[in-house]
Chain A
Amino acid sequence: MADHGLISAYLRELDYSVARLPDRADIVAEAEDHLCEEADRLIREGRTPMEAEAAAVARFGSAALIARICVIEAKRGASVPTTRTRAAGLAALLTPMLLIVGQYLNVSVDRGFVHGIGVLLLTAAVPAFIYGLWGLRARHGGLGQLGKIAMACAIVSPFLVFVSGYYGVFTAMGLLTLAVVVLVIEMLRANVLPVIPLVLLAVGPIGVIALVAAITAAGGDAGDVAGYPMLLTTTGFVWLGWHLWSEQPVDSTGHRHGSLAAGAT
């Protein structure tokens, strides 16, 4: 159909309105397909192209309304299955505990069974962290292709530790940091969970890198304080874990568990 400018102007406005959403391009593409098809239908009914475009845009709803509904729908827990993301939230809550108890046993007991338990708990903190991240990503609808790649990087990163000593450790930490930062940026754009814990989650590893770089450049030893910014990440992760865990359990059929409101979505 000939474009008389109304639909393209609307699509530019919609693109601007949904700019913070991760599936922005898809939303605009679907809107374009809908508006053009509706305008074609109205032209076939005898409207002028200009009238048809105006009517199609008017029926679609304002760009601001569509953007608002997109955010509301993304935040709705009712039909988003939360049974698995709740379990991931629990894993996120447990991660710092596994680290603290594991490290305590690892350091305070030299060897033997208890020391082994400590190492086991420390090791278990890694999949718990990854599972928590997975839950956060799932709660945001997967976060598209970028979210998938970032999650794959996060899953792969612990295995890099085995590659070659310290280089492997640094590569693993770098890749995991990159994955977390990308996931947090996409989650902030999706605007589903609270902003503060998400920012805290990403600030920790960035803070560690900045602190180590600054202290090393000044000729100091960053060893003692390098890990402090990770307290921010821990706070953010536990906060988000609690958020996931405290959501009402809803399975993939949209059925709520333990609620009188079942079926009222």
Chain B
Amino acid sequence: MRADVLKGHLDLLLLAIVEDGPFHGYAVIEELRQRTDGAIDLPEGTIYPALHRLERAGLLASTWSEVNGRRRRSYTLTTGGKKAAREKRREWSAFALTVQRVVGAPAWPTMA
């Protein structure tokens, strides 16, 4: 799946994954890869700035720990993030249903 197709939906995907967290960045990307069967093919490093933005927006909170001598940042959903995830899910369902009604509708009957 191309990055431009994903544009606009990445926040919901990240919030939905971190909802089951806490997850560190690599685990978030692994989850994304597994849950989509690898269909989403982004440069992995581009996920981090999006996670940072969601944190600045107060939707995620992060904590640092040390694992194998490396600093590791783990993300959890805040109360605002849970609310945003619910809201974005609802909007996505409504949007997907609307699009499905159009693209999944039978073609206009034509005379044979």
Contact = CB atoms under 8 A, between A and B. Distances in A.
Nearest to B56: A141
Interface in B10-57: 11, 24-26, 29, 43-46, 48-50, 52-54, 56-57
A61 interface: yes
A80 interface: yes
Interface in A218-265: 252-255, 262-265
Contact of A33 (B72, B84, B87, B91): B72
SS of B interface (majority) = helix
A214 interface: no
Interface string A72-84: 1110100111000
Interface residues of B, number: 34
Contact of B91 (A76, A252, A262): A262
Contact of A254 (B44, B52, B84): B84
B47 to A, nearest CB: 9
A34 B73 contact: no
A65 B43 contact: yes
A61 B43 contact: yes
Interface string B81-95: 001100110011001
Given A33-B67, A66-B48, A70-B49, A142 B87 contact: no
A80 B46 CA distance: 18
A69 interface: yes
A242 to B, nearest CB: 22
Nearest to B46: A69
B59 A264 contact: no
Contacts of A65: 43, 45-46
B91 A263 contact: yes
Q: Top 9 nearest A-B pairs by Cβ distance? A: A61-B43, A263-B91, A141-B56, A73-B49, A253-B84, A60-B45, A29-B71, A61-B45, A73-B53
Interface of A: 23, 26-27, 29-34, 36-38, 59-62, 65-66, 69-70, 72-74, 76, 79-81, 141-142, 252-255, 262-265
27 contacts: A23-B52, A26-B52, A27-B48, A27-B52, A33-B70, A33-B71, A33-B72, A34-B29, A36-B70, A37-B26, A59-B43, A61-B45, A61-B46, A79-B54, A79-B59, A141-B52, A252-B57, A252-B80, A253-B59, A253-B83, A253-B84, A253-B87, A254-B57, A254-B87, A254-B88, A262-B91, A265-B11
